[in-house]
A and B are shown apart, each in its own frame.
Chain A
Amino acid sequence: MFTRRDFLKTAGVAAAGSTTLAGLSACATVGGKARGHVVIVGGGYGGATTAKYLRMWSKGAVDVTLIERNPTFISCPISNLVIGGIKQMEDITVSYDNLKSKWGVKLITDEVTAVDSAKRTVTTAKHGTVGYDRLVLSPGIDFIPNAVAGLDGNEERVPHAWKAGPQTVLLRKQLQDMTDGGVFALHIPKVPYRCPPGPYERACVVANYLRQAKPKSKVLVLDANGEIQSKKALFTKAFESYKGMIEYVPNSELRGVDAASRTAELEFDKIKADVLNVIPPMRAGNIAMKAGLPLINDRWVDVDWLTLEAKGVPGVHVIGDALFPAPTMPKSGHMANQHGKVAAAAILNLFEGLAPNPTPVVMNTCYSFVDSKNVIHVASVHQYDAEKKQPMPVQGAGGVSMAANELEGKAALAWAKNIWADMLA
């Protein structure tokens, strides 16, 4: 279908910069009125950043509605420190108030139940239908139903704690309640999954807690992958520093769980744990499916990397963990923030009838704690490659820490403070 909006968009792009045509566009500024309305679904690292940057860069000329189911932002990065008893939930919780009062973002605390990309509307559970000129989905991940037999519906008994919030509190409590000499088993799904170094960091900070509080206990890392997936040499060294406590078992794909007895069922083995923490196989957040977006491997959204628009679905931009990643691009909060800025810049250009920035750059840093103070990082920079039509990692740039160190422990906490402010303050 070729709508009036599509005509204007196409004509606007062709005439890039022509004020005459841009002035005709439905989205152009008319007597100081808004240039367009962007609805953002999901107020995490990607969505909150997009909301703030659209308002900031348009100087308030673009209307932004952010629909988020949770009343406050709770950070996944740093949440392992809550599980390890180093930080508290309030340390990783940030209010959405500044997005509303300082930046003029309209916040709807609700769940989106449907997207109609032809009519350009989203339907919410409690607030009816909301129309948009452009939609940004930043849905994060959801777990694939029935991927692990016996798991669905038993997330209280066998927590994932891979979305920060009540699950984080639950896993912390189970760890605290565990008797000395118990087994904390952690299962890691096959790549790609959210936050590549996250599970290995979790093993370290859990062991750090147990070493002090319950030194006879064990941390069993059951990795579906053949080897450590991020900062391998550094995490191998960290695991060695917890010798006798952390046991790392590669190629341990989980077939099922028995939630009642907290037993992990592998191909050739059954392992009974005292705390069983299963990170299940995951895919793009459910709203991507509900919006009818075509998925790669039934899991991830394919996008145009200049606009972050879902391929084949005009007007719907998708960012963050839900994407089929470009080469070596991690699913991280930092990267989602970077996607949000590329999407915001592209949307503002499109509203003006301009082509999107042909040379976007994104970069990533992930800090991981190996104990309460010492941290290791991985960093990368990704420049858009016009021939490959996707961002490619710059060879010779990026890398990892020389060794775990306290200086980066301070940097990791400063990173959190600054990125939360970049999104929400």
Chain B
Amino acid sequence: MNLKHALAMLGLAGLSALAHAQDPNLARNLAATCSNCHGTNGHSVGGMDSLAGETQEKLMQKLMDFKSGDKPATIMHQIVKGYSDDQLKLITAWFAAQK
């Protein structure tokens, strides 16, 4: 085994050990999937709800109401079902922390 292979294996071992670890920027990355419509960092430029600086409780309530169907929507009831509740908690906490 040469140096290249040894290092490659070391690299793979390192990666697999990390596979179950959470990315340090997971919340930021998840929230960024919302910003196409809701604005960079949740600052909408108009026509869509701004999410930045809203309380996590309020955002979470809205999303859970979309998920259950209690709150009627054109599209959010379909999108919210693509995210786990844990992911939604990370996303709402992140937006709540934005100024």
B12 → A minimal CB distance (Å): 9
Q: How many A-B residue pairs have CB under 8 A?
A: 146
Please encode chain A, from 395 to 414, with 1 for each CB lying within 8 Å of some chain B CB and 0 for all others: 01111010001011011011
A15 pairs with B33, CB closer than 8 A: no
Complex: how many Å from CA A386 to CA B20? 10
Distance from A389 Cβ to chain B, minimum over Cβ atoms (Å): 11
Q: Is the CB–CB distance between A419 and B37 below 8 Å?
A: yes
Q: A379 touching B78 by the CB < 8 A rule?
A: yes
Smallest CB–CB gap between A266 and chain B, Å? 37
Q: How far does the alpha carbon of A365 sit from the alpha carbon of B75 in the complex, in Å? A: 9
Measured between beta carbons, the chain B residues less than 8 angstroms from A382 are 82
B29 close to A411 (CB less than 8 A): no
Prevailing SS type, chain B contact patch: helix
Whole-angstrom CA separation of A354 from B22 in the bound complex: 12
Q: Quick check: A53 and B8 within 8 Å, CB to CB? A: no
**Bound state CA distance, A122 and B81, in angstroms?**
42
Given contacts A14-B11, A53-B32, A422-B35, contact A358 B78 (CB under 8 A): no
B1 within 8 A of A: no
Q: Which residues of A contact B47 (CB under 8 A)?
A: 410-411, 413-415, 417-418
- Within 8 Å CB of B14, what residues of A? 13-16, 355
Minimum CB–CB distance from A379 to chain B (whole Å) comes to: 5
Q: Does B87 contact A (CB under 8 A)?
A: yes
Contact between A414 and B46, CB atoms less than 8 A apart:
yes
What is the distance, in angstroms, from B52's C-beta to the closest C-beta of chain A?
A: 13
Q: Which of B39, B47, B83 has the most CB of A within 10 A?
A: B47
Interface residues of B in 9-56 (CB under 8 A from A): 10-11, 13-15, 18-26, 28-30, 32-33, 35-40, 44-48
